[in-house]
Structure 1
Amino acid sequence: MELFSFIFGAVFGSFLNVLIIRLPQKKSVVFPRSSCMNCNHIIAWYYNIPLLSYLFLRGKCAYCNEKISILYFIVELLSAILTLALYLKFSLSLEFLYAVLFFYLLIVLSFIDFKYKAVPDYLLLLSLIFSFFVSDFSLIESLNNAFIISGAFVLLNFLISFYIQNIKSKILKDESLKTQEALGEGDIPVLAAIGVVLGLKGALAAVFLAALFAIIPSIYYNFKKKDIQTPFIPYLVIGFIIEYFLDISKVFN
């Protein structure tokens, strides 16, 4: 069953790749069949085997030899590993089903945010709804945790955004900073979902980890790409996954 859960995760990860590409473009996730982004050739099933095809083809299209993004492989591998980890945690149960769906939603949100720096609202809503099914807290406690963690970061977003728009923009004489927000709108529902699942202490630990992981990419985006927007959902999800499985917040007890 452990091997089956890993294979199932990899197969579903292949479908998650389809969602990541097509949902922001408002395309059908069923039709047409997957095709090369460069030559548009329909990909035969034997060139579309999760994980194995990417390795066998050495990350290149079988038809035009164009390089395939390693993100496809990463999504499949991450989905496989998380599915296995959740199976080991819950075995085959309803809790396992809820947790798997919730984690798959987080994966899709992360890679869409990474690619487009914007995420569909309905995916944010779904992730928030599923978080209540994954939480070990009562409904009242879960709501309380969601309101506190998201409310705290709404206030923090206001304060930091005020500094960026009104002080930093004048110091650096950068007009583009006058409209910059510290956090994206999509970050708040994800923070709320993390609060529902982990509780306040766990959520704070996850956010702390996310901030650490985001520092170097943020510096890179600012100075190399001259891009002031850093997608934060992927780092929130990394922090969440580490806290969820390793319970880092126990260190602060």
Structure 2
Amino acid sequence: MEVFSFIFGICIGSFLNVLIIKLPKNESIFTKTRSKCPSCNHTILWYHNIPLFSYLFLKAHCAYCGVKISFQYFLVELLSGIITLLLFLKLGLNLEFVFVMILSYVLIVLSFIDLKYKAVPDYLLLVALILSFFATNFSMTEAFYNAFLFSGAVVLLNFVITFYIQNIKSKLLKDESLKTQEALGEGDIPIIAMIGVILGDAGVFAIFLAAFFAIIPAIYSNIIKKDIQTPFIPYLVLGFYTEYFFNLKTFIKVFF
């Protein structure tokens, strides 16, 4: 079952790649046409489209035109397989596993869309938030309480930090572009609410980890790429899974 869960995950990951590409472009995902190379438009044969293995076998290049295949395809499939396996090991085969697994696939799609476009479809955020209420071990009352508590706290924090950036930092650095910058994007708030619904007060550790994970990429993006916007959803998701699987809250309490 462990092997099957991993294989199932990487197969779903192949479909998630389609969603990541097509959803931001508002293209239909229900088409009868077979996959084609985006460069030479050649139809991809089934044995060139096996999750993980085809990427390695083809050495990350199209079999027909030789154009490099994005590492995203391999990474999404691998992550989907690993997360599905870890969820199965943690939860077993039950209804909670199904809901958390589907939520995980939505989070993967959101993360990679955010990385590429720095914006995500609102309906995917809503789907993730709704799924979290089915995937939590808390009662519905506690889940709603945690969702409002986390999202409300983040809205307040966002207001304070944004005020600092736009009114103080922009003047200190004499950077006019900072006057319109916001600390957090609107898409971050539903994900943070989702973290609260699933993890409860342990979600604080997940958000702290997310901020920690984002520090180096943010510095690199700001200094090297001269880009002041850092997509935060991928790091929120990474922080969420770090806490979800390793339960750092319990580990830290042992020492404090």
Tell whether the structures are fold-level matches, with TM greater than 0.5. yes
TM-score (normalised: structure 1): 0.97
Partner of 2:242: 242
Q: Is structure 2 residue 214 aligned with structure 1 residue 218?
A: no
For the residue of structure 1 that corresponds to 2:24, the secondary structure is coil
How much has 1:83 moved relative to structure 2?
A: 0.7
Q: Give the Cα–Cα distance (whole angstroms) in 2 for the partners of residues 6 and 63 of structure 1.
A: 29
Q: Tell me which amino acid in the other structure corresponds to 1:36.
A: C
Q: Give the Cα–Cα distance (whole angstroms) in 2 for the partners of residues 195 and 246 of structure 1.
A: 16
Larger mean CA deviation between 75-84 and 23-32 belongs to 23-32
Partner of 1:30: 30
Q: 1:192-203 residue pairs with structure 2 within 5 A?
A: 192-200=193-201, 202-203=202-203
Q: Tell me which amino acid in the other structure corresponds to 1:11.
A: C
Q: Give the Cα–Cα distance (whole angstroms) in 2 for the partners of residues 163 and 246 of structure 1.
A: 34
Runs of 4+ in 1 over 4 A off after TM superposition: none
Partner of 2:97: 96
Q: Is structure 2 residue 225 aligned with structure 1 residue 229?
A: no
TM-score (normalised: structure 2): 0.96
Q: Give the Cα–Cα distance (whole angstroms) in 2 for the partners of residues 80 and 26 of structure 1.
A: 26
Q: Give the Cα–Cα distance (whole angstroms) in 2 for the partners of residues 157 and 85 of structure 1.
A: 33
How much has 1:44 moved relative to structure 2?
A: 1.3
How much has 1:174 moved relative to structure 2?
A: 1.2
Q: Tell me which amino acid in the other structure corresponds to 1:22.
A: K
For the residue of structure 2 that corresponds to 1:24, the secondary structure is helix
Partner of 1:160: 161
Partner of 1:60: 61
Q: Tell me which amino acid in the other structure corresponds to 1:23.
A: L
Partner of 1:205: 205
How much has 1:250 moved relative to structure 2?
A: 1.2
How much has 1:243 moved relative to structure 2?
A: 0.4
Partner of 1:131: 132
Partner of 2:76: 75
For the residue of structure 2 that corresponds to 1:230, the secondary structure is coil
Q: Give the Cα–Cα distance (whole angstroms) in 1 for the partners of residues 129 and 247 of structure 2.
A: 21
Partner of 2:251: 251
For the residue of structure 2 that corresponds to 1:23, the secondary structure is helix
Q: Give the Cα–Cα distance (whole angstroms) in 2 for the partners of residues 39 and 121 of structure 1.
A: 33
Unaligned runs of 5+ in 2: none
How much has 1:24 moved relative to structure 2?
A: 0.5
How much has 1:109 moved relative to structure 2?
A: 0.6
Q: What do residues 172-195 of structure 1 show as CA deviations (whole Å, max 9, x unaligned)? A: 111111110100110000000000
Q: Give the Cα–Cα distance (whole angstroms) in 1 for the partners of residues 43 and 29 of structure 2.
A: 15
Q: Is structure 2 residue 2 aligned with structure 1 residue 2?
A: yes
Q: Give the Cα–Cα distance (whole angstroms) in 2 for the partners of residues 69 and 217 of structure 1.
A: 20
Q: Tell me which amino acid in the other structure corresponds to 2:134.
A: F
Q: Give the Cα–Cα distance (whole angstroms) in 2 for the partners of residues 119 and 36 of structure 1.
A: 25
Q: What do residues 119-156 of structure 1 show as CA deviations (whole Å, max 9, x unaligned)? A: 00000000000001111101111111111111111111
Q: Give the Cα–Cα distance (whole angstroms) in 1 for the partners of residues 74 and 144 of structure 2.
A: 36
Q: Tell me which amino acid in the other structure corresponds to 1:183.
A: L
Number of aligned residues:
252
Q: Is structure 2 residue 114 aligned with structure 1 residue 118?
A: no
Q: Is structure 2 residue 45 aligned with structure 1 residue 44?
A: yes
Partner of 1:175: 176
Q: Give the Cα–Cα distance (whole angstroms) in 1 for the partners of residues 12 and 228 of structure 2.
A: 34
How much has 1:252 moved relative to structure 2?
A: 3.4
Larger mean CA deviation between 239-248 and 27-36 belongs to 27-36
Unaligned runs of 5+ in 1: none
Q: Give the Cα–Cα distance (whole angstroms) in 2 for the partners of residues 162 and 34 of structure 1.
A: 47
Q: Give the Cα–Cα distance (whole angstroms) in 2 for the partners of residues 35 and 130 of structure 1.
A: 32
Q: Give the Cα–Cα distance (whole angstroms) in 2 for the partners of residues 69 and 212 of structure 1.
A: 27
How much has 1:12 moved relative to structure 2?
A: 0.2
